[in-house]
Structure 1
Amino acid sequence: MNFAERFIRFLCGLALLALVACAPTPQREGTGEFIDDTIITGKVKAALVADPDLKATQINVETFKGTVQLSGFVPAEHIGRAVSLVRRIDGVKDVKNDMVPKR
């Protein structure tokens, strides 16, 4: 086995390792899912900012595999409106409401 063959095998092993490292698991997103979730988060934040009745700065948004989690202390009347607004956005599979009514 000469140097060129060893080098090619080494490169193939690195490529295989890179492919396995990018694979998604139940607790971790793959690269494509991460990009999709980033786009969904951007759409959700834009929709919340565009709504004149909601105070978007008080709502935190996190997305994992299409499930959007909303959290923060917001007025009680804004919670239902925010959840229904987010449910209508393309790509959102589910909405987890962790918002707490502000007194």
Structure 2
Amino acid sequence: MKPASTVIRQLFVAVLVAGLLGCAGAGQTTGEFVDDSSITTKVKTKLFNDPATSGWQISVRTDGGVVYLTGVVASATEKARAGELARSVAGVKSVRNELTVK
């Protein structure tokens, strides 16, 4: 009989793997989902760290390497800068800059 800690560890790993597999979107493999999530995180980080962009106002979604930027920004310059930052992330195939200037 296995010790309880080993059984719990195996159960935890099984649940974690099932969760990752379940997170993949329709038509996406787990690897593609992880890559898209990584791209989204890197883009958001760049937006937060850049003084010219308001990271809180910009939503980022990535699907198949295509980054979608949505939200409201203060100027055309900020919109353009957000697009530049998104394009600079490794793995980005294209950027759909749908930001609204108010």
- Alignment TM-score > 0.5, same fold: yes
What 5-or-longer segments of structure 1 have no aligned partner? Answer: 1-20
Matched pairs, number: 80
Match of 2:86 in 1: 86
Max radius of gyration: which structure?
A: 1
Percent identical among aligned pairs is 41
Match of 1:28 in 2: 27
Matches within 5 A, 1:1-103: 28-76=27-75, 77-102=77-102
The Cα shift of 1:53 comes to 1.8
Match of 2:6 in 1: none
Letter in 2 for 1:79: K
The Cα shift of 1:28 comes to 2.4
Q: Which runs of 4+ in 1 moved over 6 A?
A: none
> Residues of 2 paired with 1:49 and 1:30: CA distance?
29
> Residues of 2 paired with 1:57 and 1:28: CA distance?
30
CA displacement 1:37-81 (0-9 Å, x = unmatched):
000001000111110121110000000000000000111220001
Give secondary structure in 2 for the equivalent of 1:95: strand
What 5-or-longer segments of structure 2 have no aligned partner? Answer: 1-20
